[in-house]
Amino acid sequence: MSSDSPIGVFDSGVGGLSVLSALQAELPGERFVYFSDAAHAPYGERGDAFVIERTLGIARQLVEEHHIKALVVACNTATAAGIGLLRSAYPGLPIVGVEPALKPAAAATRTGHVGVLATRGTLASGKFKALHDSLKTDSVRFSLMPCDGLAGAIERLDEAAIQSLAARYVGDIGRFGHQLQEIDTLVLGCTHYPFIAADLQRLAGAQVRLIETGQPVAQQTRRLLAAKGQLAGNGSAGSLQLLTSGNASALDAAAARWLPSAEAAALR
């Protein structure tokens, strides 16, 4: 691949736009191809076999049709289910996945209690369990909350459902505060959730720290491309191509709302 080739990014829907936003900020001169698998969203409520099939199929399309130089799996569920298979299938391709930011949350907490909001598929995965078990100690514990329906509500821009579900899950996860064993750190373990960070902050309280994964993913993507000498040249103009298995106008609207540059949403 040449340094002018695009970076592929995909998610089950629009949630990965939160990661794409961080990528564009970190790598403004790069070309991006974003694929939203909205016809099959959300992945978090699907079985592993289905998610793996879609993950491999989308990667194949991005590699064969768009000749990508790197792939960012901007979906916690797809990362957990399929990133090992992707790396086996494309050993020469830099591949970056996302995972709930338990490690930085464990380092950040001062009360010893971290809350994790994620999809049921992510929380049930072996990859997540291994990460969770490696960090769970006598001094740090995690309260895990499967947020059924929340990613779908964000996908649909259903404000009433977003508010109702967010209030339920934040209310159910535990007590927030700065006292010992109160939750002082909240992990946003799905790429959709940063879009409602203001709502989650209001519900949890201003004293609670929210942690998500977009910036670390962008930084790792830069490191991998730099190591291969494939960063876009100085002065390169960044671009974005949007693809979806679902409704194109819905993806355009989401990109216009949530990406820093509304003009980027018009590129197809």
25-62 burial string, b = 16+ CB within 10 Å, else e? ebbeebbbbbbbbbebbbbbbbebeebbebbbebbebb
Q: Which stretches of the chain are DSSP H helices? A: 17-26, 48-66, 76-89, 102-108, 120-124, 126-135, 150-156, 159-173, 197-204, 214-227, 248-258
Q: How many Å is the maximal CA-CA distance in the chain?
A: 54
Rounded distance, CA 25 to CA 265, Å? 15
Verify whether residue 147 is a known catalytic residue: no
d(Cα 228, Cα 215) in Å, to the nearest integer?
20
Give CA 127 to chain center in angstroms: 15
Task: List the catalytic residue out of 38, 75, 162, 254.
Answer: 75
Q: Which of 59, 190, 218, 243 is catalytic?
A: 190
Catalogue the active-site residues.
75, 190
